Chain A
Amino acid sequence: MATESEPGAKVRLALAVNGEPVEALVDGYKTLLEVLREDLQLTGTKHGCELGECGACAVLVDGEPVLSCLALAVECGGRTVETVEGLQANGALHPLQDAFADLGGAQCGYCTPGILVTAKALLDRNAEPTRDAIKEALAGNLCRCTGYLQIIEAVEQAAATLRGRR
């Protein structure tokens, strides 16, 4: 948990990242994005603006998509954070990852981590989203390469795969 401290001093931060407890001494001004990338070396999470405009830095905090460039790391003390590095399980890609790779959902791959975790949050609460629901859920994630359609198809395929596993 974050503790009171002098400006400029380091803050002790404890949180769960991708299912593992993490403790770090971080600058109090740092965003969750900066702590993930710079202090925890989890560079899978990207940044495109650092102003909350592009969605590239999305991660899940307690299961909900959060723009990590707008979240102070110290606000995330005691919470669970999930990044693209945590999507794989037992050495296998998450169905979303397989579908994105197979169906052209990732071109340059830079917006992909943010879109993957946002899509995961959608599928976690809605096993059979409509095309409109997928668009709505991902409307805050910009992608300049794909034209979005192959991403939508990949989310639909992943949803079907996950339903098949139940």
Chain B
Amino acid sequence: MTDMDGPETPRRRAPQMTQITGPQMPQMAQMQDRGASSVIGKPRRRVDGRAKVTGQTRFADDLMLPRMLHCKLLRSSVPHARIVRIDTAPAAAHPGVHLVLTGEAFPVAYGVLPVSHDEHALCRDKVRFVGDPVAAVIARDEATAAEAVDLIQVEYEPLRTFASPDDSLAHPDPRIHEYGDAGNVHKAVSLQFGDVETAIGGADHVFDDVFFFEGSTHLPIEQHATVAARDPDGKLVVWSSTQTPHYLHRALAKALQMPAAHIRVIATPNGGGFGGKSDPFNHEVVVARAALMLDRPVKICLTREEVFYCHRGRHPVLMRFRTGVTREGRITGVDLQTLLDGGAYGSYGVASTFYTGALQTVTYDIPAYRFRGCRVFTNKPPCGPKRGHGTPQGRFGQEVQLDKIAERLQMDPADLRLNIIAPPDSLTANYLRIGTIGLAECIRQVVSSSGWKDKFGKLPRGRGVGLACSSYLSGAGLPINWNDLPHSGVQLKLDRSGGVTAFCGATEIGQGSDDVLVATVAEVLGIEPFDIRAVTGDTDLTPVDLGSYSSRVTLMMGNAAIEAATRARDLLAQAVSRTLEIPIERVTFRDRRVFDHDAPERGVTFQEAVCMAEAQFGTIGTTGSYTPPKSPAKFKGGGVGPSPTYSYTAAVVEVDVDPDTGWMVVPRVWIAHDIGRSLNPTLVRGQVEGGVYMGLGEALMEEQAFRRLPSRLSNALVHKFPSMLEYKSPTFLEMPEVHTDLIESMDPAGPFGAKEVGQGPLLPIMPALANAVYDAVGVRIDEIPVTPEKILKALQLKAAGKPARVGPASFPENVPWPEALMVKPPWEGGDGRASNEPVKKSTRRAEAGVEATAGVKP
């Protein structure tokens, strides 16, 4: 798969820069003996493009089945309370109602992480936030179900509400959950790599900054929807707008106490995901149970308000960065603390906690590092993974602090970063293995394209530019349920029609995973993408792929697809070689033909080649699978952060700030992304621009914020604005011009050299915006979002001779940090293990490393 030859491997080759508007085709090493690339790297209509522009893509709510019933949920109106009594009788008696369910029907807890199985499909003993589901009505239509839901009476015994991490740290009782590290602390972790105090103490300068990143939500335009039914043979089938059919499959088997083999989960194309459809959801479990009980199809489609309650979005994070630097601007050590407001359930939160501190070292050379992260429960909708999962918050703090460091050292922020980029092909202090790094090229590219040197510090007052960088995973190195199984599998079926079907559990959420699957197979077999049918996201029909999260699909599914397609090609090549008497090494696949490389007229059509192979070998089916390399991190917590390779991004954001009002406009963004290899530049550009867009939304306006109802009402803690009108997100009018460059570093770990693009390009936008505001008007907004109100406040402070900064004042002293696990960095002779961690009997567990991703037996 990576038979890249030549004395200079791609790993050492300097990354090449490719303008996406006119892609220059890098040599395709894998296939060079079989002809030039015909599909990969060319801008192309995606295979599902026609369906999407004709309205024929079938989203979950578009499914209408005969005899289908409809489900509505009753959600808690109070933030934290014991359920004393539920009276469902009036609802059950309502005409048209078929079934009313409460928590009694759902005794078994589930959750996405094995360490956080803390959810029941309907609340049993208590409710934990306004919006927590308490009961379900299944009726002949939505209107009837909604009427009946209103008839259900619930008596609550209120409990203390925890509205903020400060509340949760100060009051261990009553506990929101009966598990967790202490009181209302869900998780507190502490990791140390090298003697960080000495490293910081010996620095020429020490920077100590506190930042805050507000929570935000995914806001996919499609509301979550699910249809469940019994198959004619009695088994359960569930169609759902899920990014992770495999995890939903597991959760349904557990929550319903059914064999997984008797459940079929079909992920319908998602109308936007961004991480918000990655958890198994209560509504999915509820309609599955109802369909089994009633033996009729049952559908639920959430209202927009309910989507805000599902959430699992960006964690609000308070963070403190203590960083030592030399006078030349090199980092001597970083001491990072993060405090995450987790909301009411675990979700992916343990992983999110580790992610706030995992990837800093992948971007910059940090010789000594301490990370402490704490996630607390509060009475709000649960937070989880949103595009960038846990890393944008820490990235914001680090990149704004680097801007402050550059200013103090009187260095250009771009030059400062160029001097401290982590080395390629290296192990970081926290044992993450870095492959290729195109970050220097990314920085040089945006410096050049933006005219940075003529703008930074030189624009008139009110206008400014800011720069920031980032890195991101190309797929999580460890699975959520730790085991030795492949992370992605692909099966191919070829037959005498000449048709090829590619089966994979990967889930199309708009990112183009079906297109990647088809394009990789087409490239290897020398046929057109349109010749291939993709069957994806169906646990009955397709081999497991873990899902569309952690930017893993292109790399993992792509490698599995190449393996399966290469095996099919080998069978066809053998058959053609034998039949036409062509030396096998000369058999070439291109333009829907299989022929002699040295005498192209000697050959057959692709269809004839399949027939020859079918005649010689029988039915043609091949498989491919992908498992990431083992991580060298052996300490507990080391399972979050490893990836087969990392993407890199640099961005320059320009702002225009009105110093009288604080109002600001972003006219232009320049961004360069190390994509490894661009498989379909049209889709890659869409991911980059979509990331810039979503980053600007977070930087400027998006807030998943809460308020108390007036005390004359219930005083309940409620979502401030669970509607699309008031939860502001950028429209066509706010979107700036974006200049995108792709850097092709040809990573040997990626399919045809490709890395991820779905998440990384979002990350530098928020800090680059904040840095640009400083360049424009000389005030520091050390929290996200950066709003006109905050700018105006900072300008007023500045005018009054006070520090021109708006941001959090301090980091709490009362976080119950555990004793740090002490891990020697590789350059100090470390072996990836913690010196003070008890050696476990089970090496499998120890190898697995992290609690977040290890846990239940497979």
CB distance from A48 to the nearest CB of B (A): 4
Q: Is B512's CB within 8 Å of the partner chain A?
A: yes
Indicate with 1 or 0, residue by residue over A67-109, a CB within 8 angstroms of chain B CB atoms.
0000000000000000111011000010011101111111111
Known: A101-B46, A104-B682. A93 touches B55 (CB 8 A): no
B268 to chain A, nearest CB (A): 11
Chain A, residue nearest B62 (CB): A43
- Pick from B303, B686, B732, B737: contact of A107, CB below 8 A: B686
Contact with B along A130-151 (1 / 0, CB 8 A): 0000111011111111111111
> Does A123 sit at the interface, judged by CB under 8 A?
no
State how many angstroms separate the Cβ of A156 from the closest Cβ of chain B.
Answer: 13
Inter-chain contact A54/B221, CB cutoff 8 Å: yes
Q: How many A-B residue pairs have CB under 8 A?
A: 178
Nearest CB of chain A from residue B508's CB, rounded to whole Å: 8
User: Which of B48, B55, B690 meets A146, CB within 8 Å?
Assistant: B690
CB distance from B179 to the nearest CB of A (A): 34
* Chain A contacts for B219, CB-based, 8 A: 144
* C-alpha spacing A85/B725, complex, angstroms: 28
| Segment 28-55 of B: residues with Cβ below 8 Å from A | 45-46, 48-55
* Chain B interface residue bracket vs A: 35 or more
Q: Does B278 lie at the interface of the complex (its beta carbon under 8 Å from any beta carbon of A)?
A: no
**A150–B686 touching, CB < 8 Å:** yes
Q: How far is the CB of B50 from chain A (nearest CB, A)?
A: 6
Q: Is the CB of A85 within 8 A of B509?
A: no
Instruction: Assess whether B738 is in contact with A147, with CB atoms less than 8 Å apart.
Output: yes
> Do A102 and B45 touch across chains, with their CB atoms under 8 A apart?
yes
B245 CB–A CB distance under 8 Å: no
How distant is B530 from chain A, measured CB to nearest CB, in Å? 12
Contact of A108 among B58, B61, B510 (CB under 8 A): B510
Whether B735 lies near A149 (C-beta < 8 A) is yes
Considering the complex, give the chain A residue whose CB is closest to the CB of B692: A147
Question: Are A104 and B686 in contact (CB-based, < 8 A)?
Answer: yes
Verify if B746 is at the interface (C-beta below 8 Å from A). no
CB distance from A82 to the nearest CB of B (A): 12
A residues within 8 A CB of B693? 144, 146-148
Say yes or no: A109 contacts B51, CB within 8 Å. yes
A146 touching B733 in the complex, CB below 8 Å, given contacts A93-B50, A110-B222: no
Q: Which of A37, A88, A110, A150 contacts B272 (CB 8 A)?
A: A110
Q: Are A101 and B55 in contact (CB under 8 A)?
A: no
Is B724 within 8 A of A109, CB to CB?
no
- Set of chain A residues within 8 Å of B45, measured between Cβ atoms: 101-102
| Complex CA–CA separation, A109 to B733 (angstroms) | 20
Question: Measured between C-beta atoms, what is the minimum distance from B274 to chain A in Å?
Answer: 7
- Residues A48 and B222 in contact, CB atoms below 8 Å apart: yes
Across the interface, B689 reaches (CB within 8 A) one of A41, A112, A147, namely A147
Pair B50/A101 contact, Cβ less than 8 Å? yes
* Residues in chain A near residue B512, CB distance under 8 A: 107
Q: Which residues of A contact B732 (CB under 8 A)?
A: 134-136, 138-139, 141, 148, 151-152
Once bound together, how far apart are the Cα atoms of A108 and B683, in whole Å?
A: 11
Chain A residues within an 8 Å CB radius of B272: 108, 110, 144-145
A108 touches B222 (CB 8 A): yes
In this complex, what residue of B is CB-closest to A43? B62
**Nearest A residue to B271, CB-CB:** A110
Count contacts on A: residues with CB < 8 A to the other chain. Answer: 58
Closest to A140 in B: B731
Whether B304 lies near A85 (C-beta < 8 A) is no
The distance from the CB of B495 to the nearest CB of chain A, in whole angstroms, is: 28
Shortest Cβ distance from B219 into A: residue: A144
Q: Is A65 an interface residue (CB 8 A)?
A: no
Are A110 and B738 closer than 8 Å at their CB atoms? no
In the complex, what residues of B have CB within 8 A of residue A113's CB? 55
> A51 and B725: CB pair below 8 A?
yes
Q: Indicate whether B511 reaches chain A with its CB closer than 8 angstroms.
A: yes
When chains A and B are docked, how far (Å) is the Cα of A134 from the Cα of B733?
10
* B273 to A: closest C-beta gap in Å: 8
A112 touching B53, Cβ below 8 Å: yes
B503 within 8 A of A: no
- Who on chain A is nearest to B688 by CB? A147
**Are the CB atoms of B690 and A48 closer together than 8 Å?**
no
Check if B689 sits within 8 Å of A109, measured CB to CB: no
Most chain B CB within a 10 A radius of its CB, from A51, A85, A105, A107: A107
Q: Cβ of A116 and Cβ of B53 under 8 Å apart?
A: yes
Distance (Å) between the CB of A153 and the closest chain B CB?
10
Q: Which residues of B176-219 have CB atoms within 8 Å of chain A's CB atoms?
A: 218-219
Q: How far is the CB of B56 from chain A (nearest CB, A)?
A: 7
- Considering the complex, give the chain A residue whose CB is closest to the CB of B669: A147
Across the interface, which residues of A come within 8 angstroms of B738, CB to CB?
147, 149
Known: A108-B272, A144-B729. A88 touches B54 (CB 8 A): yes
Complex contact A109–B690 (CB within 8 A):
no
Contact B303 A50 (CB under 8 A): yes
Q: Which residue of B lies closest to A27 (CB)?
A: B143
Cβ of A44 < 8 Å from any Cβ of B? Answer: yes
Task: Report if A20 contacts B (CB, 8 A).
Answer: no
> Pick the contact of B221 from A38, A102, A142 — CB < 8 Å?
A142
Q: Is A150 in contact with B685, judged by CB distance below 8 angstroms?
A: yes
Residue in A43, A139, A147, A148 whose Cβ sees the most chain B Cβ within 10 Å: A147
User: Do A101 and B53 have beta carbons less than 8 Å apart?
Assistant: yes
Report 14 cross-chain contacts, Cβ distance below 8 Å, ordered by A residue. Answer: A41-B64, A46-B221, A50-B303, A51-B304, A53-B725, A104-B46, A107-B511, A108-B510, A109-B269, A111-B271, A112-B55, A145-B690, A147-B691, A147-B693
Extra 13 A-B pairs, beta carbons < 8 Å, given A102-B45, A109-B53: A41-B64, A48-B304, A50-B304, A51-B724, A54-B724, A102-B682, A109-B57, A109-B271, A144-B274, A144-B693, A147-B690, A148-B732, A149-B689
Task: Report A's interface with B, CB cutoff 8 A.
Answer: 29, 37-38, 41, 43-51, 53-54, 56, 83-85, 87-88, 93, 96-98, 100-113, 116, 134-136, 138-152
Query: What are the 6 tightest A-B residue pairs by CB atom distance, in nearest-first order?
Result: A44-B55, A108-B510, A109-B52, A110-B271, A147-B693, A101-B49
